[in-house]
Amino acid sequence: MSNQPKNIAVVGASSAIAEAFIRCVQIRYPNAVVHAFSRQGDRPIDYSQEESIALAAEHASRTGPLDGVFVANGILHDGRVAPEKSLGQLSRDHFQHVFEINTVVPALVAKHFLPVLNRQRPAYFAVLSARVGSISDNQLGGWYAYRASKAALNMLIKTAAIEVARRNKQAIVVALDPGTVDSPLSRPFQRNVPSHKLFTPDLAADQLLNVLEHLTPAQTGRFIGWDGEEILP
């Protein structure tokens, strides 16, 4: 991407990687306006209400078309769910909860934020996915709901990219894998991660911003890793 972005929105801004991404953006682009949306932030958003998501998109675009949208919503575990190790641990409630956060919410964010992307210069809409959402890369099994929700998210991005390209040739719609980031999401599962592959949130954000800066509209619809390499679905 050429030229510095002027108007950026971050959705799910309270996560460790999103907070780091905002810091990184503010350092690199000190003149950019950054709109940060989260449940308890300065710009609160209620993900369970589509009208709230629509209002967030309207607010962010008041200062001009968006040069970048970074969507960081996601769940692997919380007090209600944990990754399944076997078919016997599957539950309807678990699947619905994980898909709501990892797939449905980003889909609704795409619905309302993609139409306000800049059409005069390359502009990105990027969602945080995960390599475990790659069907071809799945060698270990387990984590049914999380894997399936991220695979569905990757398909959502691919499908949206095809549609958006018909009316906005400058749009770059991508899913990103940040690698393993030292955050509350990954902390219970870091035991076997080599130290050089466990990224701080700031390093992960810096790497992802590097990737976004070098993307072109020809790469829209792809699933891309923190190192800039495309990940097969």
Q: Rounded CA gap, 195 and 175, in Å?
A: 25
What secondary structure, in 3-state letters, does 1-58 show?
CCCCCCEEEEECCCCHHHHHHHHHHHHHCCCCEEEEEECCCCEECCCCCHHHHHHHHH
What is the model's pLDDT at position 2? 52
CB 131 within 8 A of CB 210: no
Q: Show me where the domains of the chain are located.
A: 7-225
Angle at alpha carbon of residue 65, lines to 60 and 71, rounded to 5°:
55
Residue-wise pLDDT tens digits, 145-185: 999 999 999 999 999 999 999 999 999 999 999 999 988 77
Residue-wise pLDDT tens digits, 198-232: 899 999 999 999 999 999 999 999 999 999 999 99
| pLDDT band at residue 142 using 50, 70 and 90 as cut-offs | very high
pTM listed for this prediction: 0.94
Classify strands 68-71 and 123-128 as parallel, antiparallel or unpaired.
parallel
Q: DSSP alpha helices (H): ranges in 29-170?
A: 50-60, 92-99, 105-113, 144-165
DSSP 95: H
Sign of the Cα torsion 210, 197, 135, 156 reads negative
Pick the CATH number of 7-225 from 3.40.50.1860, 3.40.50.720, 3.30.1490.20, 1.10.3720.10: 3.40.50.720
